[in-house]
Amino acid sequence: MFDFNLPAIIANVPALMIGFAFHEFAHAWVADRLGDPTPRSQGRLTLNPFVHLDLFGTLMALLYRFGWAKPVMTNPLYYRGDKRRGQIMVSLAGSIMNFLVAFVVMFIWFVTMLGFESSQWTEILSRVFQATILMNLGLGIFNLLPIPPLDGFGVLSGLLPGRYAPQLKLMEQYGLIILVLLLFTDIVNIVLYPTMSNIFDAYQKIITLILTPFLG
């Protein structure tokens, strides 16, 4: 479950920077498009990863490949149209962006490897590419868990009727404790890693189909 392998951690650093930057930018961008000025006013409408990093969430991501960044502050009262639908869209934006980034990086990885002969550099590049893909898949899936402060809780809050507000408020108080406890259970092995593996395999098959006509 832990990964204390130094080369792996080094490869995870750029992977984490990319994953967090695009994840939080997506939240900020969707909220901004819906009419909320809060992310822009707080400087979160940027791909600069250092603006988005959360110390504890970053450590979790480096060690587990599942973590979180500093949440983008939003005000659903500004959202145009249905506020609850807007909340769900903003909450989902980060994970959707991570899945898109993982696919694009895998595509670039495959194309890059076609142009290089096997060498030490290709091994290093492959390690970074793979770490970036896995980090983005991990962030995307992990953040969909319906536990505060993760994005899945924002989706859950947007879906549930207002009468469940007291229960949601209670969950917010203990969300981080629940999250840490889950990290020390088999949830990563039982749910998250298999889901990552399935998406990774699906991406690989799709990209292979796309590139096959050009390999003849």
Mean pLDDT per 10-residue interval, the chain, length 216 residues: 62 88 97 97 95 84 73 94 95 97 96 76 86 92 89 92 86 83 75 91 96 80
Residue 150 located in a structural domain:
yes
Residue 103 located in a structural domain:
yes
pLDDT at 69: 85
**Predicted TM-score of the model (pTM):** 0.89
Q: In the block, which residue shows the tokens 């629940």?
A: 178
What 8-state DSSP symbol labels residue 191?
A: I
Nearest 5 degrees, angle CA 194-CA 148-CA 100? 50
Residue 61 located in a structural domain:
yes
- Of 151, 130, 128, the closest CA to residue 139 belongs to 151
Which range of residues forms the domain containing residue 78? 6-214
Residue 40 located in a structural domain:
yes
Active site residue 117: no
Residue 1 located in a structural domain:
no
Q: Which one from 24, 117, 123, 172 is the annotated catalytic residue?
A: 24
Residue 145 located in a structural domain:
yes
Residue 107 located in a structural domain:
yes
pLDDT at 93: 97
Q: How many domains, in total, are found in the chain? A: 1
By the 8 A CB rule, do 73 and 42 touch? yes
Phi, psi for 67 (deg, rounded to 5): -160, -160
CA dist., res. 199 & res. 2, Å (int): 22
pLDDT at 63: 73
pLDDT at 1: 46
By the 8 A CB rule, do 186 and 178 touch? no
